[in-house]
Structure 1
């Protein structure tokens, strides 16, 4: 049953976009060291190796997982196999501005997927909240100058991100359809391992195709190893656990607005790396995004 948005739940849903912003930065940095689909596979392999000792029991034939294999196969496809693979792939052909703009469509996809496939009613407040939140994202991306958006144009990477946003919306709504045993929902390590197990199959197939059809290669070294540890433990394990718990508390429609914090965090990280101080428009954008969340979550 969905609950009101509390400070604790808001914190849970703020952690994932913060870590995902770092994930986009790291993915861009190691783009020349590892192919994008292979990076996604290695990322989840690291997460699985870390979690398996704590929750590998869920894969035992008697655990009850296999009675719900279709559901976890879909969760593994949309949440593990596709979203970040498409994001890493998009960064090969698209600019960070375009990729972030496409990812900013997630709240809209959340509302549309919920309405079309899950019978969710969309309120006027949620549409208003969507408009405010996306306005905040656009303000960050154009660095306070709206005229910069006039130069925006679509490239293949943008289409990858649109597909990724749609898949992430399906994943988030599927999280609400809790048919598995209650003990799994209360044990997020086991719940996530079940998703990763199937997701590794999907991402492994995608990575194999990448190596078969392209001149893929990997440059092993400490930079790549450090990057894999970060994307495997932070954006994968911690972010997915926080996101799943938050979605189950307040529902995908409200949770989707928090995804728009990622561009703001990315802008602040970029500013930190470049030695630039945050600008006035960062604060204005934060107010718009948070305002959208508050408007949409009111009952």
Structure 2
């Protein structure tokens, strides 16, 4: 049991660095380049699994609903989610991004209720409201009058869209029976890279090129290997040991790890706004986490 919680915590630590890197390299590497090369490295590492993945692809293609689910999950989880994070990193801080990222359970709850018709308890809706208020406080810097002037951080809005895209990805993702997580991830990365390729080529046509130096290469290698593959492996190992409901609790600590990394690097300082937003968002998602079991219907 302890090992399962340790795996989930390590996975979240590895993912938290992703937000810090997005903030650091925002002016050096274009978001499209960062996203494309990250998944290209992950694709190359998983290439030995290509044959078994292609043998299992029939189970996706023969089921139209499964196929659309797979395509949607690939486009949102691989192509869109992290690209939006890297774009947001140009306009907002890593702390803001991580706080908004953990609102995903809010959107998952809403999507399940509206589109899947799953009943939701009143107390769960209170958690949704609490986390939403925390998100609004963070985005508006505590000044709600900003909403009337529409002077909201572009990066925070992009991160909100990223959280929504991740939530839809989490809802629609369905791994076919008989297919391993690694095989499914390999196929998702392939589709995601194909979708990113036109944007990458456009980026190159406009004159953008990756600055080849030890620093940028180390960032991309980290994202491709540790943030993508190692974290994915640890997360799934954790789910296998303690279950998804227990493992996801560690994800709510994402802003804490991001802040600690930033604080150790002397890049940020704690303030009342961050603390207030964290308490509201963390309180809300914890309520959602422990009460989102469907209410009984007569």
TM range (shorter): 0.7 to 0.9
2:54 to 53, 60, 63: 60
Q: Structure 1 stretch 200-209 or stretch 90-99: which is displaced more?
A: 90-99
Q: SS in structure 1 opposite 2:178?
A: helix
The one-character-per-residue Cα deviations of 1:209-232 (angstroms, maximum 9, x if unpaired) are: 3334x4422110111111111111
Counterpart residue number, 1:34: 29
Cα drift, residue 44 of structure 1: 0.5
1:51 aligns with one of 46, 51, 68: 46
Cα distance change on mapping 1:167 and 1:295 into 2, 3 Å: closer
1:198, distance to aligned residue in structure 2 (A): 1.0
Deviation at 1:259, TM superposition (A): 4.2
Aligned equivalent of 2:16: 21
2:279, 2:3 → 1: CA distance?
A: 19
Aligned mate of 1:76, from 45, 49, 74: 74
Counting matched residue pairs gives 280
Q: Confirm or deny: 8 A CA contact 1:107 1:257 kept in the other structure.
A: no
Equivalent position to 1:238, from 230, 239, 251: 230
Please state how far the C-alpha of 1:15 moved relative to its aligned partner: 4.1
Normalised to the residue count of structure 2, the TM-score between the two structures is 0.75
Unmatched tracts of structure 1, length 5 or more:
1-5
TM-aligned CA deviation for residue 205 of structure 1: 2.5
Q: Which position in structure 1 is the counterpart of 2:181?
A: 188
Q: Secondary structure at the match of 1:32?
A: coil
> 2: CA distance between counterparts of 1:150 and 1:123?
31
Q: What is the SS of the residue equivalent to 1:183?
A: coil
Instruction: Give the equivalent residue in structure 2 for 1:217.
Output: 209
2-structure distance, mates of 1:23, 1:105? 17
Task: Please tell me the root mean square deviation across aligned C-alpha atoms, in Å.
Answer: 3.9
CA distance in 2, matches of 1:138, 1:14: 27
In 1, Cα distance between the equivalents of 2:122 and 2:7? 25
Are the counterparts in 2 of residues 44 and 200 from structure 1 also a CA contact under 8 Å?
yes
TM-score w.r.t. the length of structure 1 is 0.75
Task: Describe the shift of the 1:103–1:236 C-alpha distance in structure 2 as closer, same or farther (beyond 3 A).
Answer: same
Query: Does the aligned pair in 1 maintain the 2:75–2:192 contact within 8 Å?
Result: yes
Gaps (5+ residues) in structure 2?
Answer: 294-298
Could you give the per-residue CA deviations for residues 121-177 of structure 1, whole angstroms, max 9, x where no partner exists?
A: 2223433444666788899x79xxxx95238751332332222111100111122x3
Per the TM alignment, residue 290 of structure 1 is displaced from its structure 2 partner at its CA by: 7.3
**How far apart are the structure 1 equivalents of 2:268 and 2:193?**
39
Shift of 1:37: 0.9
Quick one: structure 1 residues 155 and 66, their matched pair in 2 at CA, closer, same or farther if it must change by over 3 Å? same
Q: In 2 relative to 1, CA 12–149 (structure 1 residues): closer, same or farther, beyond 3 Å? A: farther
Q: How many Å separate the matches in 2 of 1:124 and 1:246?
A: 30
